[in-house]
Amino acid sequence: MTRPLTTGSLAGLEHRHVHSGKVRELYALDDGLLLMVASDRISAFDWVLPTEIPDKGAVLTGLTLWWFEQLADVVPTHLVTASVDDYPAELAPYADALRGRSMLCRRLSMVDVECVARGYLTGGGYQDYRKTGKVCGIELPTGLLDGSRLPEPIFTPTTKAPVGQHDEAIDFAAVVTKVGAAQAEQLRAITLAIYESAAAIAEKAGILLADTKVELGVDDSGVLTLGDEVLTPDSSRFWPVDQWEPGRQQPSYDKQYVRDWLQHDSGWDRASAPPALPDDVVERTQAKYVEAYERLTGRTFTDYLRSA
């Protein structure tokens, strides 16, 4: 098990801190480098919950590193190294806190669009389809159910909302307005290429990749580059192939236990801060994250922690 990231874990690096996300802490280093540290925080319904999921940050980091390897021929990434022993000397005192849950990356100018690809219809996309027959302006066949496979993967971008607010679906024309026609075409092509490559890999492991969100930015040479995390249970919906059945909520390898408990068992009204998670929900969620890592990579999570 990884050591939890606490407020004191990186004390002394406050002058390097540039951003706190729902899960990650970002630190700007010299030479255009960025230290990304994944905490064990978990979010749901646009809230960061008060209870953490042990090892979650390490699962997200380990899985992202594995996917970076698989996608090397599809898109360049911002990764420099995840070997703590190769980090700059000023980070040496924090090696234990960073090991397994951090990456040293090139800093990118991030695109102001959440790039989403869907191969299956569910979630907010399904709700939009029920109302309009479309998702992000893309007309779909009639008669699709929650969980239906789409005729082909589609690009369904959203806005990038601040923490605590909700991303809003936008159509391709809105992306063109934001970033220009040429870059919009690139974003769509790269996002769909990532999805199609990853979906084929995942299906061989017995997992359907229903949808995924990727973060793209421009490097110093003007090249669109994959950043942040990729294809984790936080940014993707993973479903077991042998249990897929359109027309119902699919079993999944993600935080669905958390969402279900909050929606149906907690009594939470969403107008106030969310309650703490019970131990059994924490344990089942942790197990699902680890299972996703192990099924996709074919490696044990324990071996990842040993090698980190």
Give the distance, in angstroms, between the CA of residue 187 and the centroid of all CA atoms in the same chain. 17
User: For 33-85, what is each residue's pLDDT tens digit?
Assistant: 999 999 999 999 889 999 999 999 999 999 999 999 999 999 999 999 999 99
pLDDT at 32 (0 to 100): 92
**In the chain, % of residues over pLDDT 90:** 89
CB 192 within 8 A of CB 155: yes
Question: What is the number of other CB atoms lying within 10 angstroms of the CB of residue 295?
Answer: 15
Task: Give pLDDT < 50 ranges for the chain.
Answer: none
**277: its two tokens:** 């998670």
Helices H, strands E: what count in the chain?
8, 15
**233: its two tokens:** 């249970």
Amino acid at 133: G
Q: What angle do CA 198, 199, 204 make, to 5 degrees?
A: 100
The span from the CA of 128 to the CA of 143, in Å, is 14
The span from the CA of 202 to the CA of 295, in Å, is 9
The span from the CA of 130 to the CA of 81, in Å, is 44
CB 150 within 8 A of CB 118: yes
CATH number of the structural domain 14-108+256-307: 3.30.200.20
pLDDT at 18 (0 to 100): 95
| Pair type for strands 79-81 and 134-135 | unpaired
pLDDT at 254 (0 to 100): 84
Residue-range domain boundaries for the chain: 14-108+256-307, 110-243
Structural fold of domain 110-243: D-amino Acid Aminotransferase; Chain A, domain 1 (3.30.470)
pTM over 0.85, yes/no:
yes
Sign of the alpha-carbon dihedral angle for 186, 188, 191, 196: negative
